[in-house]
Amino acid sequence: MNKDVERILIGEEELDRIVTRLAAEIDCDYKNSERLVLVCILKGSIVFMGDLMKKLTVPCEIDCMKVSSYGAGTATSGNVNIHLDLLRPDIAECDLLIIEDIIDSGNTLSYLVDYLLLKGAKSVRTCTLLDKPSRRKVEFAPDYRGKEIPDEFVVGYGLDYAERYRALPYIGVLSPSVYENA
Ligand code: PRP
């Protein structure tokens, strides 16, 4: 285990089981879709999306967006910057499935769903690996949820602290000494 990780919250086998279950749910719901597009929200979702797409049997395309949320303490969901947009001329034919690593305030996903619908997507749903419902600032429920977790600082499997730990194969709780001494 990485020396900065206090304990493993979700190990590799459990992650695999969670991703397998989510892929089965998505397979079932999108079996009649003519154009399913998985939209990876960079960077944290890269590892999750890579594993998830390998387990899908329905045909899918992939795309990426990069966004940042700010002012998450407000009651509105408009405080999101788009750094890399989804630029598809065929968006009206696309069933978009936004892939997230974690939902915290809910700001990012509640904004993105409205944004992509306004851009003309045929449908928009959301899939998150982790959910911290205790941190919500705006009401938001994902369509697919891997696991609810407590309000702890988690890293690994794509999630970072100061751009580190993304490559860990498990989700671990970061030792407070790492960020308290930063
Ligand atoms: C994280 C996460 C979500 C967002 C969730 O991204 O990947 O996109 O924050 O928070 P919210 O529910 O409060 O909006 P982050 O900004 O850490 O970027 P990263 O994925 O590149 O690490």
- CA–centroid distance, 32 to ligand 1, in Å, is 31
Tell me whether strands 5-10 and 171-174 are parallel, antiparallel or unpaired.
Answer: antiparallel
Summarize pLDDT for 63-76 with one digit per residue, the tens. 999 999 875 444 44
User: Given a cut of 80, is residue 39 above it in pLDDT?
Assistant: yes
Q: Which residues are catalytic?
A: 104
pTM for this predicted structure: 0.95
Q: What residue ranges define each of the domains in the chain, with the CATH number in brackets?
A: 12-150 (3.40.50.2020)
Average pLDDT of the segment spanning 146-168: 97
State the DSSP H helix or E strand holding residue 68, giving kind and residue range, or none if neither: strand 61-69
Per-residue pLDDT of 80-104, as tens digits, reads 999 999 999 999 999 999 999 999 9
On the CB side of 153, CA atoms within 13 Å amount to 15
Ligand 1 residue neighbourhood (C-beta within 6 Å): 41-44, 68-69, 72, 100-108, 160
